[in-house]
Structure 1
Amino acid sequence: MPPLRSSASQPWSLALLLSLALASPGVAQPAGGSQVQSVRPGCAQKDKAFWRALKARKGVPETGVSVDGLGLALASCLGSPDPELRDGLAFELLTLWMRSGALSDTALRPLTATLVGQLDDGLGESGRDTVFRRTFSALVLSEAIRRDTLQPFLTPEELTQVLTAAVRYLPREKDLRGFSDTRGWMHGVAHGSDLLWRLAMSPRVQQEGLEQILQAVAAKIAPPEHAYVHNESDRLARVVVAVIRRGLVPPEVFSRWLEAVATPQGLASWEEAFRSQAGLARLHNTKQFLRALHSALVLQKTAAPHAEQVLPQVLSALERVSLV
């Protein structure tokens, strides 16, 4: 992988960058609150054949065309209900450019601001196409944080804004659909978890931020209205393992967090879960998460700080929900 370019430090806030990005030609602003177009004009400036050809050239643009100039246009494609355009082209090209260093830090900062803003598009809705822009913005943001971890390009204030947006997004995402044969991946819980996972691994995020991440994960472990079947529990567990590996959250804080996770929220006991679909969904999701967390801790290649204390606690929590 080529070395990442050094950061071009600018005294701009992420909020200012976001306002500039949304005001740029070709990036339409939402009209009427959450009524957002599936594909904004910036994406439509180039047809699918253009993006396919660009991908076939491994992301290398034609002479005279700048990768930096294409980043925001691709970000507007993340809301497309077309899985090839959204996932196979926009996500893959943006990831390629971030990992290769083709996107400059100067371009990444307004792009990150735009992605943070897109997390709010239709947030709280379910069953609508607005889900695509939110969930794929979270996924691409996870790649931006990966890049920032390798070579920081965000100011401390901007990184805090991403963290704040991420811990706000996951608990409030109501569209829990995972995959559609015709529309492809939605996967909001998994993609939101991926963003938190990257943030948890960032050395720039300290104890307070890690505890916020744990609380955001807890909010989505066991929704009563949906049973996870698309690997969401594993992605949530991966976040928690990353937090544990940082060694900054005291064992007693994690113990209280785990106790709350294993408690049958809204039920007198786990036995009561068998009396309703919502209870069964909670039980299923909690079991899946604790199994995933236990497996991830057992199978990790290098020991995490406090692992010897944490693993028996996870096993005890798993036994609480597995013996009913």
Structure 2
Amino acid sequence: MDVELLKSIFENRFAIPDNYQVAELTPQLMKNLGAVRSDLRDYSYMTLSAWIWGWYDRTYYNDVEMLELAEKAKCNIKIGLGETESDGVFLRSYSILLLNDLTDFHRQHPYIEEPEIRDRMELYLTYLEKEQDLRGYISPEKGWSHGIAHVADALGILSLNSYLNDLDLMRLLIGIATKLRQPVPSVYIHSEEERLARATVKICQQNILSIEQINSWLDILTETERRPSGPLIWDDFEKYPWRKILTSPTEQLCAYRNIQNFLRSLYFQWERSENIIERQEPVRQLIYQALQFIETGFANSDRGFFLNP
């Protein structure tokens, strides 16, 4: 399927072209999710999404066909998982986008049984742990890969599913914490931590997790290696537990910056959230305490970078 045909579908409000059938075009669209050219990939994904949701008409897939699409997407997500910076990331990342649509559609039109939702949860957690291609925007020709941002969105949507319980939601949060704590060669630069924070807000706003569970997760996120105190004021581990991270290897320092930026984003997203829940303020305080604990800078000048004896 060439880009001109895809463009014409897009410009015609995703109507099925004359002399074509959905069943004929769908496998080609699925294949294009892994295209290196961003226009092929984007038009193909938007078309599949529009046909699932019925943006301008009706959904073009029945329940069985949507489950078949999901199976293909799930297979795609596993292909090459663990590779570093290869074009295979596009198929994985855009298949997550599609699977997220198929999962979200269930909220308006229930068609997925609990085992399938749990299977998708396991896949998302595996992907989050093992994806090593952390690029966002790559080039004008190749466009976006953005796998971590896409799976973050998928976790947020998945958390809205009634099949999941508090232990499931904790697993999602711990998966996010584990990814943020992974030593990496560079910090996230395309708002991946913002998307992970947005997913976290959705997870915590389900009013399923207790205050104690959220607090224990924040402890996991901000736990730091205990080091012996030195002779200088900033070497006091009890007062400045994260201070020595600034002289750690680059990969560990980048992980620290990802955690720090994530918590800053989480704090402000939580504070500005429109979906006010009963525990809004207690959770905000927990997030701020975690931020204070990890900060080497602005959150608390007494614990920050510039220290007075």
TM-score by length of 2: 0.85
Partner of 2:63: 105
Work out the number of aligned pairs and report it. Answer: 278
Partner of 1:210: 169
* Aligned match for 1:83, one of 38, 42, 49: 38
Query: Structure 2: where are the runs of 5+ without partners?
Result: 229-240, 297-303, 305-309
Identity of aligned residues (%): 25
Matching of residue 166 in structure 1 with residue 166 in structure 2: no
Matching of residue 247 in structure 1 with residue 207 in structure 2: yes
Deviation of 1:169 (Å): 1.0
* Aligned match for 2:220, one of 260, 271, 274: 260
SS in 2 for 1:180: strand
Amino acid in structure 2 at the alignment position of 1:156: E
Structure 1, residues 49-106: CA drift from partner, whole Å, max 9, x if none?
222222221111134533344333211111111101112x111111211221233323
Deviation of 1:231 (Å): 0.5
SS in 2 for 1:308: helix
Between the aligned partners of 2:172 and 2:268, the Cα distance in structure 1 is: 20
Deviation of 1:117 (Å): 1.0
Matching of residue 47 in structure 1 with residue 47 in structure 2: no
* Aligned match for 1:283, one of 253, 256, 262: 256
Partner of 1:201: 160
Deviation of 1:242 (Å): 0.8
Amino acid in structure 2 at the alignment position of 1:94: L
Structure 1, residues 213-253: CA drift from partner, whole Å, max 9, x if none?
11211122243213011000110011111111111122211
SS in 1 for 2:180: coil
Alignment of structure 1 residues 149-164 onto 2, 5 Å: 149-164=107-122
Between the aligned partners of 1:64 and 1:103, the Cα distance in structure 2 is: 18
Alignment of structure 1 residues 25-64 onto 2, 5 Å: 46-63=1-18
Check 1:304–1:68 CA distance in 2 against 1; reply closer, same or farther (3 A cut).
Answer: farther
Contact 1:149 1:203 in 2 (8 A): no
The CA RMSD measured in Å over matched residues stands at: 1.8
Contact 1:221 1:236 in 2 (8 A): no
SS in 2 for 1:128: coil
Between the aligned partners of 2:291 and 2:23, the Cα distance in structure 1 is: 48
Between the aligned partners of 1:144 and 1:191, the Cα distance in structure 2 is: 14
Structure 1, residues 282-323: CA drift from partner, whole Å, max 9, x if none?
221111100111011100112135322211010011112224
TM-score by length of 1: 0.81
Between the aligned partners of 2:22 and 2:195, the Cα distance in structure 1 is: 31
Greater shift in the superposed pair: 95-104 or 225-234: 95-104
Greater shift in the superposed pair: 235-244 or 98-107: 98-107
Contact 2:188 2:258 in 1 (8 A): yes
Which has more radius of gyration? Answer: 2
